[in-house]
Every structure is written in C-alpha cells, then in structure tokens.
Structure 1
Amino acid sequence: MMPDSVQAAARIPLLELDEERNAIRRWQDHGDQEALELLIRSHARQAWSMAVRYTDNPVHQEDLAAEGVLGLIRAADNFDLGQDVRFSTYAGWWVMNGVTSAATRIRSVIDVPVRAVTEMRSGKMAEEDQSVITMAMQGIVALDAPMGDGTQSFMDALVSADLTPEETAAAESLHQVQRRLIESAMTGLNDEEAEVIRRRKLQPVPETLEELADAMEMSRDRLRQVERRAMTRLRRFLLDNGFHKAMLN
C-alpha cells in the first residue's frame, strides 16, 4: 500500500544500494510486482516532496503525488543498472516531469507557493500581501489575475526567484542526469554527425554554419542535412528517456 501523505512517505526507510538494485533487476527481468512496490514505496517521499511544492491543497497534493509515483514507475522501467548512479537521482527527472505536467491539468491556477505561506505565518510579509495570500488560499483571489497596471499578477509579486537549498540540490542532480543522457545519445551518432552536434550545439560559442562547412570541407546544404539527421536521432533518444518536448525546442 502506498503512503497517503508526505509524513507517511518520510517514515518509510530507504533501501540500501544492493537492495535497491536487486529490486530493479527483479522488476525489469521478471516483472516482479512485489519488487516494484518495494522500490516505489521506499522512494515515494520524492513524489510527495515534489507535490507539496506545488500546492497546499491536500486533495491536489494527493493527485500530484500519484503522478509522481507514475514517474517513479517509468524510471524503474528505464533505469540502466550499468550506470553508477542511485535510483533516486535518476528518478528525480521522471518525478518532476510527472508532477509539473499534471499540475497544469489539475488546476488552471496553482495554489499559493509554499514559501509565501511560510513567510506569511512567520510574520515576515507585509500586511497587504498577507491579506492577498489569505484570500487566495480561500479561493477568493486568482493568483494569475492582473494587478496594478496589468503588467504583473499576484503570482509574479509573491514568487521568489531564489532557489531553496533543496531546489538547488535537485536542479544539480537533474543536470547531471541530463548530461549523462546527452552523452549516451551522442554514442548513437556517427563520427560526422557527432562532430557537427558538438560544434554547433554543445560549445559555449557555437560555430556558424559557414565556419563549420568550411572547416569540414562540405557544402552548407550538406551540413544542414547532417545536422537535421543528427538532431532527429538525438530528440528521439532523449524523449524516450524522459526529456520533455518543451526542452527540445
């Protein structure tokens, strides 16, 4: 049985590395449902932790956490046991994709940010802002409604651009997973395609079409064909391994 709250999820102990990998192997090789449940229960805290960042509404938290659990299952399906990485790090990408995609479907207006509620309750917020948050929590004010001259919404005014330490750590873990996925995707290209992608897409200052065509002694039309073919292969690999379409535009 899956935990029904963030507190319940936090009480479930994490698996040791060998237990974690054994559960993944049993699920991938034999379809062992008990192994999958053991793995998901021990990492359900990831789904709940992500869900509570997006809403204070218990009903919506449960819905978002359920989407996060689906992300954990997809991660269990796709995890490469040959990689030297913990399941929680790899699964973080799938959980975030599941929760963030579901958040916009569940409600057209996301609840008040957790940080804003914390600041209100600790007395660190102006009285006027406290009133806005209170009304929003009661469903009286839509946070995306325009305010003042119409150029800013209540959400714009309340959300801090600074990352919390937890968000910073999560972002770094996801960046590492993304980098490994891109490196794996590059191995599916031939030498010519890989060189074009590295020099046109992965350098701090990408080379222009003209510069690279001259350097590789090919026509610009030929270079465009190679680049398009390589990007199509990369997109297919990355989408199959958890990248969101919006990130590949």
Structure 2
Amino acid sequence: MATSAAADRRMIKIAMSAPYLERDEEQALALAWRNHHDQEARNRIALAHMRLVIALASRFRNFGLPFNDLLQEGYIGLLEAAARFEPEREVRFSTYATWWIRASIQDYVLRNWSIVRGGTSSAQKALFFNLRRLRARIARGDTHLTSETVYREIATALKVSTADVRNMDARLAASDVSLQAPVASGDETGASHMDLLASEAPLPDEQVTELIDGERRREWLHRAMMRLNEREMKIIRARRLTDSSSTLEELGADLGISKERVRQLENRAMEKLRAALCEATPAFSESYA
C-alpha cells in the first residue's frame, strides 16, 4: 500500500512539473505525430496533459477503486485521444481529450466496481455516475423530501424510470456478497446464501404429476392419431406437431393438391382428433363443451 501511494505521489509530481503547451506548439506536435508517427511528439502531448488525467481521476475516488488504477485508465484514454486528435479542427487538445479520459475511467469503474456488470446503456451509465450527486443536491434544497420524491426528481432529470433509480440506489448502497458466505456469523447450521436461493424448478410432486400426465396425454394423442388416414396424418404432423410447421402452399405442392384443399383436410383431421380425445377423457370433452 505504501509503495502504491509513493508511486501515485511520484506520478503526480512529474505531471504537475511538466510544462504547459502553447497552442502553436501543441498543433506542431500533433501534426508531427499524425503525419510522421513521431513518438516523442505524442509523449510530450500526453505528459503535458497528465494534470487533466489526475483531475478527472480524482472525481471517481469515491467508488473505492485504487487511485493508481484510475490514473492508468485515464492515461490510456489520453493516449487514445492523442492517436485520434485532428489538429486541423482548431480545437485545443485538452477539450478533445477530456471525453476520452473520462470514458476510459468510467468504463474501468463499471467493469470493476462490482462483480455484477451493470450500466451498459448510456442512460444507465448516466444514472450510475450521477445518482449520488443529484440526490445530495436535491436533499440540500429540501431536507424533508421523501425518498420516492427524490427518486422521481432524479428520474426526471436523467430521463429514466423511477424504478431504475430505485434499483440503482439499492445497488450502490449494497456490497457484493459471495453465495458461499454464511448467512450469519456464529450460525451453527452453517447455512450459506446459496441455501436461501429459491429454485425455479417444479416441486417433486409437480414433476411426478407432470410426468404421469404427459405420458397419459401422449397415449391419448397416439390413439386419436390412429383414426386419421395417411394424408391427414401427414398434414397434422407437418402443421401441428413440428417446431417449424409447413405452410399450406408447401403441403399442397408436396401432396399435389391446392392449399385450400389442404386447409379442408386439416380442419377435418382436427375434428376427428377432437372427437377421439373427447371419447378418451371426460375432462377434455367438458373443456370443449
């Protein structure tokens, strides 16, 4: 930790002592890098703007990530800006680089702040990075506001839903917990958070019931299908019993009949199946009564 802090101080000292660049000198260095790939020119531009990286990285310290890592990510954004800068647009490099530095740091924070990735859309990113600031500003104006009122005002300001604000606030307030961690210290049962997760699978008795009922339904359908002739059976299988059903035109071409005739045969086959299933089970008969 001490070594990291010393490295941070050394980097900051070097950055703060680097000379500023005048506009003409900045333009000349940018042209040298773009036209001749002059590495020294690019490095001089980058070093002169490390102050900007430090200033922007400092704004993200409250997310609990190592400051040295924030600086490194900001420097990556700075180099990306140097590689893409177009001096003929007559914009100062610091103005252009600010966006790249901030974007690089924000992406790092989103990747490493939590093991659960979030904030992938531009609206969610804005919510993630501005929620605390907006909530503090709103609370300063009126300390008697309820949480829901604050959520609504933030949602309006950032053009997101109130539910999004509420969910993001809960995420920011909680820390990551391993599913293998015990529910409570000193718990003699040794239960972990994993043990408390609700299973989405059916209960055992439901599984058995579904298995028995499924076998029974398949047997009813098999017996009902035996009442169809070969052409009707082919139509029903192709139209009703496959994942990608055939069209009337396709079956008509295959059977050498019109699509209207295929429709008529399908309707007749369905009536036969319905009658057979009604005979097999009273429950089915009552559902079509």
Q: Which structure is richer in relative contact order (CA contacts within 8 A, separation 6 or more)?
A: 1
- Between Structure 1 and Structure 2, whose CA radius of gyration is higher? 2
Is the shorter-chain TM-score for this pair beyond 0.5, marking a shared fold? no
